[in-house]
Chain A
Amino acid sequence: MRQLIRIALALVFVPAAAFADDMDGMSMHGGDAGASTFGAGVSVIAASFSPSQPDGMFYGGSYQGVMPSASWMMDRYSASASWSYYRMDRNGITAYGVGDLFTSAGVTLLRGSSYGAGVMMGAAFPTGAIEAGIGMGKPMVMPMMFASWHVGKIELNGTAGYSRMLGEPDDTMVHVMSLVEPMNMEEISWTAGGDYAITPSVRAGAKLAGGVPVGSEPGAVRVFGAGRVAWKRRGVDTGAELQAGLVGDPFDIRAVVTTGLTF
């Protein structure tokens, strides 16, 4: 249960980064009915990106970020929030600033001995500077479904959701959308991944994630792939993920290292 919620929390926290989710061992049953569990973590992100006229990508450069996060879980319910601070080097100019604030709340609707599924509502608040490429410029809502299934040492998980910008987009947004969390103004977002438990406390996996624009606003199909490894030691979950942009040029390559503590 806790495992399932964490997968979904991680994916909503950072829709595009999708940092090393799933770091809580293999059990689907946390035995946490009725008791609140709190989590705190931090992620470190580094990425590079290149211009591409066909994809409407007008910038080249790199960015680095630090992303603290907090979460709460009780039985089938969960909530989370994360913020970030970035250094952005874009077309020869460097800027520093906070990114958008991400929040989420979810509930698990189905759960069995080897599977689980639920729904989650994510929301992003435009605290990041759109001019620097570290914010969307408008609030976003991101309702989604999540599901997980495991057998033996293998676990498969995925999400599917709908993301939409609130309010009328500015025309300039076509040119300066968030580089750190590339997202269309209106899109279907998805992830699909799998993990293998190498030992009871170490696992490795891979995933694909992306977005498909819908609606009348301009957009671009986005896909990235990732390989990851995660381990747990003395209550501290740590994971490392290496991502590569495949379609739509969200970035060339991005590395995310996450560590978190549950109490």
Chain B
Amino acid sequence: MRIFILAVLVGACGTDAVPTLTQTTCPDPNNPQFTYASFMHDFNCHYCDNCHDSSLTLNERNGAPLFHNLDSLFGTMTVWQHTDEQAGFGPKAHNTFMPGGGTSQRCPSTLGGKLDEDCPEPTDQERENLSVFLACEVARPQDYNGSNEAPSHDTDHCVSYTGPH
């Protein structure tokens, strides 16, 4: 009986995979393969913004933290570690917690909508690209204030990016 109780307690203390920084490095910070315009904007549009858009109120975020807004370069880099450890692939970790973490892999199909579909899943290559993009942005310190404007959501929020790079 004592062994059973101990096993239960130890089991309760056990941990599954946990969000981990990928420790990805940037091959060439001065000539990044991926930019916000060429990659990150579309990635966020397709996989993140329906819960992580800056225009969403608390009740429209499906549990996503306030201030974690991924519809701008500034917002993306403000929480880059959180993004990397939730969704990035790299040498130290393959993180697949997002999209769908905390919502049983269910996502809204529209901006701020209900959880009405299975989450669209980034490919492994896209997850690797995500971590490379983040590593390169971190490796080339810059002032993001000029990139703080979110794309317009008047029609389709995944329209081609036209803002600063």
Which residues 39-54 of A sit at the B interface, judged by CB distance below 8 A? 51, 53
* B61 close to A125 (CB less than 8 A): no
* A92 close to B18 (CB less than 8 A): no
A225 at the interface (CB under 8 A from B): no
B46 at the interface (CB under 8 A from A): no
Partner of B66, one of A58, A95, A101, A167: A58
Interface-located stretch among B37-45, B81-89, B122-130, B136-144 = B81-89
B59 at the interface (CB under 8 A from A): yes
* A59 close to B65 (CB less than 8 A): yes
A91-B66, A171-B82 known; A125+B59 contact, CB < 8 A: no
Give the residue name and chain of the A residue nearest to B58 (CB).
A60
Which residues of B are found within 8 Å of A12, using beta-carbon distances?
A: none
What's the A-B contact tally at a CB cutoff of 8 Å? 71
* B58 close to A172 (CB less than 8 A): no
Interchain CA distance A98-B7 in the complex, whole Å: 19
A127-B12, A132-B102 known; A60+B66 contact, CB < 8 A: yes
A252 at the interface (CB under 8 A from B): no
B164 at the interface (CB under 8 A from A): no
Instruction: Give per-residue flags for A14-44: 1 if the beta carbon is below 8 A from chain B beta carbons, else 0.
Output: 0000000000000000000000000000000
Interchain CA distance A92-B81 in the complex, whole Å: 24
Instruction: Give per-residue flags for B59-101: 1 if the beta carbon is below 8 A from chain A beta carbons, else 0.
Output: 1111111111000000000000110011000000000000001
* A91 close to B61 (CB less than 8 A): yes
* A58 close to B67 (CB less than 8 A): yes
| 6 residue pairs A–B, Cβ–Cβ below 8 Å | A59-B65, A91-B59, A91-B63, A127-B12, A171-B19, A171-B81
- Residues of chain B touching chain A, judged by Cβ–Cβ distance below 8 Å, are 9, 12-13, 15, 18-21, 57-68, 81-82, 85-86, 101-103, 115
Question: Which 7 interchain pairs have the tightest Cβ spacing?
Answer: A58-B65, A93-B63, A92-B59, A131-B102, A172-B19, A51-B66, A60-B58
Please name 4 further chain A to chain B contacts, defined as beta carbons within 8 Å, in addition to the given A91-B62, A93-B62, sorted by A numbering: A58-B67, A59-B65, A125-B9, A170-B18
